Copies of this chain bind each other. A is one copy, B any other.
Amino acid sequence: MTYVRNAWYVAAFAHDVLAQRPSGVRVLNEPIVLWRNTAGELTALEDRCIHRLAPLSLGRCEGERLRCMYHGWLYDRGGRVVEIPGQSRLSSNLGVRSYPVLQRHSWIWIWMGDAAAADEHLIPPIVGMEDVNRDDYVFGYGQFDVDADARLVYENLLDLSHISFLHAETFKMGPIWAQEHPNVTELGRSVRSERWLTSGSQNGSVYGDHLGDSHFCCDCFVPGIVILSNRTYPSGTAASLNGHAPDLNEPAHAGVANHAITPLTDKTARQFYLIAAPRRGEELAYDTTNEVRAFDEDKKMIEAQQRNLDATPGYRFVSAAADRGVVLFDRLTEKLVRAETAA
């Protein structure tokens, strides 16, 4: 598995890690325990007691400390062993790895590489539940696991031409969507694919009471965080901008779907999704029925793809025009991995 390590990976929804309740997760094949002290502050440690590798996620939070509940070894927030029952002297260098961890945009993020390089600014501009006025937006969210390399999962989102085929019944986008390619550009640590759907096209959107132009943008950030946004404008906007993108720093008028794909192991990935949609009335949440149906379609296809890949060692995918985003993102990932390996 070749993944960028100097990057933030989503480990959990923030609301799923409760105070004083350790929670075991896995990222890049590494077992990690997440826990909060009484003040709610997060710690992420290697999830195996150095004594006999019992998981600390089966342990007990004791204020600022976490106790392994097999034989009682006690760890501080830095991962250092501070108590061994029945033993008065402790070597000062006993401990487990601790990971930079923080909570942002409704998710918990872990930095898997060199702790000194951890930089909060590298967290992608997710639209989380605390980031918008809840009077204006409703959210739908969830997570699911896919028995496949995470790469196959985020590549699904990097080539959205599949919506015309795999999700033909679910999203009813028609074949035109797949025949017209988005503009694809590389932007530092992400690849952007964007396009206009104008009021004259088959897939035009509604703006107020009329048909409008809608601008669709997909930003895929290293290591596999995807932000899909959809902005709607009065009819004619696309033409007045000569087909150029609108100001993407403005909030989306029609919704944002955030996806984080986390490699659990070489062949299992967890997909977290968080969809923000403009509030239409008094609804409590965004209705994800259609998206969940599409995720099921994706999961079934990607797992079958992984099985075929396993049965075809050394196979190299054949790429076409629609794969430009995939190709650029793979190249970006490889470049970053090479830089890390060299360092």
A: residues with CB less than 8 A from B are 29, 31, 47-48, 50-55, 58, 67-72, 84-87, 94, 152, 155, 159, 161-162, 164-166, 168, 175, 178-181, 300-301, 304-305, 308-309, 311-312, 315, 317-322
Contact = CB atoms under 8 A, between A and B. Distances in A.
A291 to B, nearest CB: 18
Contact of A175 (B50, B72, B179): B72
B48 A308 contact: yes
B178 A53 contact: no
Given A31-B311, A85-B164, A178 B72 contact: yes
Contact of A72 (B48, B152, B161, B304): B161
Given A85-B165, A87-B321, 15 more contacts: A29-B311, A51-B319, A52-B305, A54-B305, A55-B304, A55-B308, A68-B165, A69-B166, A70-B166, A71-B322, A72-B162, A72-B178, A84-B320, A85-B164, A86-B322
A53 B148 CA distance: 13
Given A159-B71, A162-B71, A311-B29, A86 B179 contact: yes
B70 A318 contact: no
Contact of A321 (B68, B72, B86, B179): B86
Nearest to A306: B53
Contacts of A31: 308, 311
A86 B161 contact: yes
A257 to B, nearest CB: 20
A85 B315 contact: no
A320 B68 CA distance: 14
A320 B87 CA distance: 7
Contacts of A164: 72, 85
A52 B302 CA distance: 10
Contacts of A179: 85-86
B55 A318 contact: no
B321 A53 contact: no
B55 A85 contact: no
Contacts of A162: 70-72
20 contacts: A48-B308, A48-B312, A51-B318, A52-B305, A53-B309, A54-B304, A58-B300, A68-B165, A69-B301, A70-B166, A71-B165, A72-B162, A72-B175, A72-B178, A84-B321, A85-B165, A85-B178, A86-B180, A86-B181, A86-B321
A58 B308 CA distance: 13
A67 to B, nearest CB: 7
A22 to B, nearest CB: 13
A178 B71 contact: yes
Given A85-B175, A178-B86, A54 B308 contact: yes
Interface centre among A52, A69, A94, A178 (most CB of B within 10 A): A52
A94 B31 CA distance: 43
